[in-house]
């Protein structure tokens, strides 16, 4: 028996590569494309720098011998894995292939994902998962379930160590949704992405409710109602652009520094227009996005969860070349009150910035917590406490700008000096008090008002007196709770100065395994 030639062996290798590249076959690929969806490898190529992708485990196949699967062994087992670069920075990636067994997850499919997460952790690089899967591969039973469990554990161990992005580009159902939920950010494509635990058919059978898959778990639902997703794109190309943009603000890992961005925007720039954006009248609304854009470098702001809990704004920007996280009350929505959803949204964002050493700049204009039975029954106490916890726990530079209202416990929750803010600045119209002048005057001067011959006029007089005496930034400045009272147009300059001063911030915390955050 003679040896085969190297040409024959290489020809075999080329044939195996073609088989792997073919995925689920021409018919399955055509069906995928007819829905406007890319294939697993096309998606990787569209996201990564051209020619940078290096594939791993392209010949891995399942080892299930039940239900006819022994006759269907497809190289790759339904997921493409490897590494590449985005803007020259290394990332690890996996992309589920819906053309192979519907992208379902089996034992070896899961092993491939676990391998790239492990490699990402070992090398201190972000990991990106493109999800397009029908869920667990039923034929593999508990092996498939065990595969999910192994991925969940790795997602949890990697949390706060390396950035983890989940990209939903098709169905993601059942146990498949929990890996994305454990990662930092979920990206979805409108009318293409779906996430739900139980599908419309199961819901109809169990509860009698009739709902479409899109209504139940589409991109619009998760970006506006549930808050489970963080970004929504009109198509796959826009989604990949969003991923690249967000990644540009983040370090490769928790021991790395986030990249600086060159700008010609002068750190000393003063914008007199800021005086007119925030009304002195505390009852008038405005869009805080305009304040943010006028303070940050080049007006560029990448908002996180833009469609959810719009009464608070979170996102990334650069100030003086440095990446920062922005948290801001938005007086245009619910007067900027804190509620259950806003507290959830902001607390998670604060903790994410803290995990990856990104300074946080907080713009405050908050009248309090949203009142009402629905909020109380829904757990505003524990949800509001999450924001208090997140800011108190954060050890990155915390810079706070009080633009107008800062009332009661909500003021404390918005990165106050009491919670550990390093620098607190207030505009001249800032009102820092237990409550608004109207409510406070009605309580403090109740007897005088009721005993006056003209109670209405007396009440207005006392409101004005209270506002003049207490509802201003100077009482807080006298106590050291405000470091400086500044002109609105000085905001960019003083924030840049504070970021410079806090660049080398270090502080010791009590030794402990971990805290117990309010749920």
Could you give the CA distance from residue 329 to residue 353 in angstroms, rounded to a whole number?
18
Question: Which residue among the candidates 82, 174, 320, 368 is catalytic per the annotation?
Answer: 174
What CA–CA distance (Å, rounded) separates 229 from 71? 38
Band of pLDDT at residue 2, cut at 50, 70 and 90: confident
Q: What is the mean pLDDT of residues 356-378?
A: 96
Q: Is 410 a catalytic residue?
A: yes
Q: Can you give the pLDDT at residue 375?
A: 96
| Residue 57 scores a pLDDT above 70 | yes
Residue 199: which pLDDT band, with cuts at 50, 70 and 90? Answer: confident
- The answer to which of 99-103, 332-336, 412-416 has the lowest mean pLDDT is 99-103
Q: Average per-residue pLDDT in the chain?
A: 92
Res. 63: pLDDT tops 80: no
DSSP assignment of 197-266: SS-HHHHHHHH-----HHHHHBHHHHHHTS---SEEESSHHHHHHHHHHHHTTS-SSTTSPPPP------
Phi, psi of 315, rounded to the nearest 5 degrees: 170, -175
> Are residues 322 and 288 in contact, defined by beta-carbon separation less than 8 angstroms?
no
pLDDT digits (tens, 9 = 90+) for 108-151: 899 999 999 999 999 999 999 999 988 878 777 788 899 999 99
* 219-248: pLDDT as tens digits: 999 999 999 999 999 999 999 999 999 999
In this predicted structure, what is the pLDDT of residue 243? Answer: 98
Q: Classify domain 274-435+472-501 by CATH number.
A: 3.90.226.10
pLDDT(479) > 90? yes
Task: Please say if 285 is a catalytic residue.
Answer: no
- First CA to last CA across the chain, in angstroms? 69
Structure tokens, 13: 């290798």
DSSP string, 41-71: HHHHHHHSPTT--EEE-TT------STTGGG
Distance (Å, whole) CA 144 – CA 371: 46
Q: What percent of the chain has pLDDT over 90?
A: 71
Reported as a pLDDT band with limits 50, 70 and 90, residue 68 is low
Q: What's the pTM value of the predicted model, to 2 decimals?
A: 0.93
Q: Domain map of the chain by residue range?
A: 39-247, 274-435+472-501, 437-470
Contact call for residues 192 and 200 (beta carbons, < 8 A) = no
Quick one: pLDDT at residue 67?
Answer: 63
Sign of the C-alpha dihedral computed for residues 104, 108, 114 and 115 taken in this order: negative
Between 264 and 519, the more confident residue is: 264
Catalytic site includes residue 175: yes
- Fold (CATH) for 39-247: 2-enoyl-CoA Hydratase; Chain A, domain 1 (3.90.226)
* Residue 222 contacts residue 230 (beta carbons within 8 Å): no
Least confident of 156-170, 358-372, 442-456: 442-456
- pLDDT value of position 124: 98
- The catalytic residue among 149, 227, 285, 409 is 409
Give the residue carrying structure tokens 């991925």: 151
Contact (Cβ atoms closer than 8 angstroms) between residue 136 and residue 172: no
Is the pLDDT at 464 greater than 80? The verdict is: no
398-407 and 322-329 as β-strands: parallel, antiparallel, unpaired? unpaired
3-state secondary structure of 172: strand
Per-residue pLDDT reduced to its tens digit, 254-313: 999 999 999 999 999 999 999 999 999 988 999 999 999 999 999 999 999 999 999 999
Asked if the domains at 39-247 and 274-435+472-501 fall in one CATH topology, the answer is yes
Q: Which residues of 406-437 are buried (b: 16+ CB within 10 A; e: fewer)?
A: bbbbbbbbbbbbebebbbbbbbebbbbbebbb
Choice among 410, 430, 440, 471 that is catalytic: 410
Q: Quote the pLDDT of residue 292.
A: 98
| Residue 467 clears pLDDT 80, i.e. is over it | no
**Is residue 218 a contact partner of residue 194, using CB atoms and an 8 Å limit?**
yes
Strand partners, 173: 196
Residues 6+ apart with CB under 8 A from 298: 263, 265, 318
489, pLDDT greater than 90: yes
Q: Is 409 an active-site residue?
A: yes
The catalytic residue among 129, 135, 175, 325 is 175
């Amino acid at each position: 028996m003679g040896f085969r030639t190297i040409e024959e062996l290489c020809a075999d290798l080329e044939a195996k590569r073609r088989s792997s590249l073919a995925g689920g076959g021409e018919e399955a690929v055509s069906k995928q494309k007819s829905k406007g969806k890319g294939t697993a490898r096309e998606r990787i190529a569209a996201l990564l720098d051209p020619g940078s992708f290096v594939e791993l485990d392209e010949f891995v196949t399942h080892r299930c011998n039940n239900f006819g699967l022994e006759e269907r062994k497809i190289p790759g087992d339904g997921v493409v894995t490897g590494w590449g670069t985005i803007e020259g920075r290394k990332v690890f990636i996996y992309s589920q292939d819906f053309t192979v067994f519907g992208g379902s997850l089996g034992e070896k499919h899961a092993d491939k994902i676990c391998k790239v997460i492990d490699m990402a952790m070992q090398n201190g690089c972000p990991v990106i998962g493109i999800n397009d899967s029908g869920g667990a591969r039923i034929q593999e039973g508990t092996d498939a379930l065990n595969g999910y469990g192994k991925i969940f554990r790795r997602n949890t161990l990697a949390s706060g160590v390396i950035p983890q992005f989940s990209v939903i580009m098709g169905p993601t159902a059942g146990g498949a949704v929990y890996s994305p939920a454990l990662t930092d950010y979920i990206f979805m494509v409108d009318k293409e992405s779906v996430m739900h635990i139980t599908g419309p058919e199961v819901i109809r059978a169990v509860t009698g409710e009739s709902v479409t898959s899109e209504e139940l778990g589409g991109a619009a639902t998760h970006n506006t109602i549930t808050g489970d997703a963080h970004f929504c794109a009109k198509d796959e190309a826009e989604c990949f652009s969003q991923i690249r943009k967000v990644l540009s603000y983040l370090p490769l890992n928790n021991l790395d520094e986030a990249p600086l961005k060159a700008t010609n925007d002068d750190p000393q720039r003063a914008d007199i227009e800021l005086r007119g954006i925030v009304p002195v009248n505390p009852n008038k609304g405005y869009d805080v996005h305009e304040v943010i854009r006028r303070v940050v470098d080049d007006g560029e702001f990448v908002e996180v969860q833009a469609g959810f809990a719009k009464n608070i704004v979170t996102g990334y920007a650069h100030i003086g070349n440095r990446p920062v996280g922005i948290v801001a009350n938005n007086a245009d929505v619910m007067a900027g009150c804190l509620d259950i959803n806003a507290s959830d949204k902001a607390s998670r964002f604060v903790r994410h910035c803290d995990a990856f050493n990104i300074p946080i700049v907080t713009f405050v204009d908050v009248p309090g917590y949203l009142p009402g039975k629905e909020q109380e029954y829904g757990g505003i106490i524990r949800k509001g406490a999450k924001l208090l916890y997140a800011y108190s726990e954060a050890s990155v530079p915390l810079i706070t700008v009080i633009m107008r209202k800062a009332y009661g416990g909500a003021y404390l929750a918005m990165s106050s000096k009491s919670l550990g803010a390093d620098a607190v600045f207030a505009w001249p119209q800032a009102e820092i008090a237990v409550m608004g002048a109207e409510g406070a005057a009605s309580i403090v001067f109740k007897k005088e008002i009721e005993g006056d011959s003209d109670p209405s006029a007396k009440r207005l007089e006392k409101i004005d007196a209270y506002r003049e005496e207490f509802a201003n930034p100077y009482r807080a400045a006298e106590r050291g709770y405000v470091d400086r009272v500044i002109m609105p147009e000085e905001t960019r300059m003083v924030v840049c100065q504070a970021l410079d001063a806090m660049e080398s911030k270090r502080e010791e915390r009590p030794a402990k395994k971990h805290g117990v955050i309010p749920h």
